[in-house]
Amino acid sequence: MSTTATPPGGQRTLQKRRQAQNAKDKQLKQTPASSRQAGHGGSSSSILKIYTDEANGLRVDPLVVLFLAVGFIFSVVALHVIAKVTGKIF
């Protein structure tokens, strides 16, 4: 008889248990903590679709939109100034 006490099943059983526990821990770490992280809830999927290649319609660079908006504001201010100046002259 051996003097060292070995658990029933031997070394293979302990190794399988460790592998199963490691796999379980790994799966728990990969599971999202909330339903939003899992991709459920809210209207985030429809809002995010605007910014992806899946969206249909006209694609315009945000910088172009910025320049067009600033240009429009400048033209309105310029027309107001021109109207004030010509109103005082005539």
Residue 20's pLDDT band, with cuts at 50, 70 and 90, is: confident
Which of 7-11, 24-28, 43-47 has maximum average pLDDT? 24-28
pLDDT band at 81 (very low <50, low <70, confident <90, very high): very high
pLDDT tens string 46-68? 655 556 666 667 778 889 999 99
7 close to 13: Cβ distance less than 8 angstroms: yes
Where does the pLDDT of residue 39 fall: very low under 50, low under 70, confident under 90, or very high at 90 and above?
low
Contacts of 38 (CB under 8 A, 6+ apart): 32
Q: Break the chain into its structural domains and give their ranges.
A: 61-89
